[in-house]
A and B are shown apart, each in its own frame.
Chain A
Amino acid sequence: MKDAILNVLQTIFRMVPHPVRPRMLRVGHPGHRSPVLVTTNFAVTVRRVKKALRGVDCYLLIAPAGGINVWCGSVGGQFSVESIISIVKTSGIERCVDHRRLILPQLCAPAISSAELHRRIGWSALFGPVRAEDIPEFLRRNRKVTPEMTLVRYGVKERLEMAVAMWGSITLRYTALVLLLAPFWGVGWTAGWFVASVAAVSLLLHQLSERVPARSDPQKGVMIAATVFPLFALAEWGLGSGLDWRIFGLALITLIAGYLCGHAHAGYTPFKQCSYSKRFYGQEPIEIHILADDCTGCKLCEQVCPVGCFDLARDSRRKRYVMARPDDCVECGACLVQCPTNAVVNVASPTGEVATGVLGGLVVPHGHGARRTCTAERGVG
């Protein structure tokens, strides 16, 4: 029950960090050869991973990452090689196992390179699946991921979760500003109408965004708001609150809510970039290209790409990868960081590289130590 309440609250206020104490957990009855998994110290993620690991014997290292989820923490710079170094050194895991191999969540690939980890602390790392639920299957398959395990999912459940998160953050951010309109309708009506409008629009926008016939997200938000308003007005008339003609003035508040939701929407999906991050955090553009001569076909880029951008080249005699679906790229930079031969380059950058910690990302984090962070609520732990 306590977990359920915490889950709801921490989803509504997902935009702020929810840290738990970094530590090592013994799950089941681990031995000297048991796998060592790593996750971030975001409370929601820790609960999900612990739940997914029921029945598995392993060690779980909860690394210090400012209480932010894996993907946002890694693109924002909070979940880094330093986080892993810290938890490996302080947890005493070195005395618990004979091996020196970590299993990392795939979505930390934009920040954590196995080669760097090995150079700095002598541990190697293997990327596991995107989602915690797939970990038992991943371990059963002798620590091999299936193509499905490497892709971010964005189904009804994830969309609902992101709608709730967006509702929480937009109402927190803008309710005070919208209350400037309170003299027209009163504080209660203005705030209540805005909060309800944001809830309705964010819920519908997340579930229906691909089906709304508009070009941009703000347009979609406004269209949904225009559809929602008559229903609200009808409900208000049915309740007989006696708001008379002023009800039409409240349409403005619904449209504002629609625009704000539409504007923020990209930041709450795992597939698009957010203009907010570009404006405030100087997010660098990324355009991925693979240098054919340098690619060894090691498959790492394909394995760490959360949206499946890469394919094997069909017209080549030797095994090499190509960027097959550039439009799907979410500019997370994981392939750039992980490629062992530097065959993956960013053609949008003069140096072909990108600085870790200023990548991708969506809405804004308010985490401790957040530096130019673009964290997002990408619907994944």
Chain B
Amino acid sequence: MTAIVLMKVFEATPSCYEAGMRLITLGEITRIRLAIVRAIGHRADVLDIGCGPGELHHLLEPRHCSITGIDKSANMVRFARKNACATSPQNISIAIEHGTALEIDRAFSDRRFDTIILSFVLTELGPDERTWVVRAAENLLKPAGSLLVIDEFLPESALKRAMFHIARVPIHLTGHVLQHVHDLSTTGLWWRIYYAIVELPLMVLSFFTSEPLTRPIKSLSGLLPDGLYIAKCDQFLGGVIRFATIKKGAPE
């Protein structure tokens, strides 16, 4: 949860993104990525929606995959492309496109994939956007393909959910303030401190009036169209982050 909020602060700076992610997830990000690698077959065609700086792609080298990444941030796309060129992986092909998750239908209309990864993407989307992206991803999957969803989930029990929300407010508020101060282009510590002090009342008010930084998924099965089913679901960070493997077709 903390990771997802603070990720917002780091995501504008690709070089900091990875270090930030590792630090604030206490290494869980590596376990999650290894789980993703295990879920991907040999010589698979992979679509990574919201690929970020493309750190996952190098882990897929032993899988001899063909990877297509797409990210909405032009900064990230540049960084991921540079990253792919710099390391020149031997056994995989990497192509990075610039675009949002809502453009995958047009961007890849003539392609089908064995695996589509949605890693920390759905929580950043609105409710209608989520439904649309999952349906569009289904259309891009090959008949036996799988959709990997890694994201923040709401706990199922009412008590845990209440505790989750209570814990979330201060963390999100901190992320909200940090993001605003981080985004400043002004130089000088004193100006930043001045800004943080003067703007704090407005930042707090805006935190409560604006849309949340992320919206944890309440029910993944509610998002799935008839042609998809959850084959497997692993938990990380005490169940706050889950890794669902979604298959195309009827449940076995």
Could you tell me which A residues sit within 8 Å of B by CB distance?
Answer: 13, 15-19, 22-23, 64, 66-67, 82, 85-86, 89-91, 120-122, 169, 172-174, 176-177, 279-282, 358, 364-368, 370-373
Contact = CB atoms under 8 A, between A and B. Distances in A.
Contacts, number: 103
Contacts of B12: 371
20 contacts: A13-B209, A15-B206, A16-B206, A17-B209, A19-B209, A82-B102, A86-B100, A86-B126, A89-B129, A91-B128, A169-B202, A173-B199, A173-B201, A173-B202, A279-B186, A280-B191, A281-B185, A282-B186, A366-B210, A372-B185
A281 B126 contact: no
Given A364-B202, A370-B180, A370-B183, A16 B129 contact: no
Interface string B12-38: 100000000000000000000000000
Interface of B: 12, 72, 99-100, 102-103, 105-106, 126, 128-129, 131-132, 180, 183-186, 191, 195, 197-199, 201-203, 205-207, 209-213
A22 B185 contact: no
Contacts of A67: 209-211
Contacts of A372: 183-185
Contacts of A169: 202
Given A368-B211, A370-B180, A89 B132 contact: yes
Nearest to A366: B206
Contact of B205 (A64, A121, A172, A177): A172
Contacts of A281: 184-186
A379 B180 CA distance: 24
Contact of B210 (A86, A364, A367): A367
B100 A85 contact: yes
B183 A120 contact: no
B103 A85 contact: yes
B102 A279 contact: no
Contact of A17 (B195, B197, B211): B211
A88 B1 CA distance: 31
B103 A13 contact: no
B102 A66 contact: no
A90 B103 CA distance: 11
Contacts of A368: 210-213
Contact of B128 (A22, A120, A365, A367): A22
A266 B199 CA distance: 18
A115 to B, nearest CB: 16
The 5 closest A-B pairs by CB, nearest first: A366-B206, A282-B185, A16-B206, A90-B128, A17-B210
Contacts of A120: 99, 103, 106
Nearest to A64: B126
Contacts of A282: 185-186
B183 A85 contact: no
B125 to A, nearest CB: 8
B201 A172 contact: yes
B247 to A, nearest CB: 25
A177 B196 CA distance: 13
Given A89-B132, A120-B106, A19 B184 contact: no
B102 A18 contact: no
Contact of A176 (B185, B191, B201, B203): B201
Contacts of A121: 103, 106
A344 B214 CA distance: 39
Given A13-B205, A364-B199, A66 B106 contact: no
A366 B183 contact: no
B99 to A, nearest CB: 7
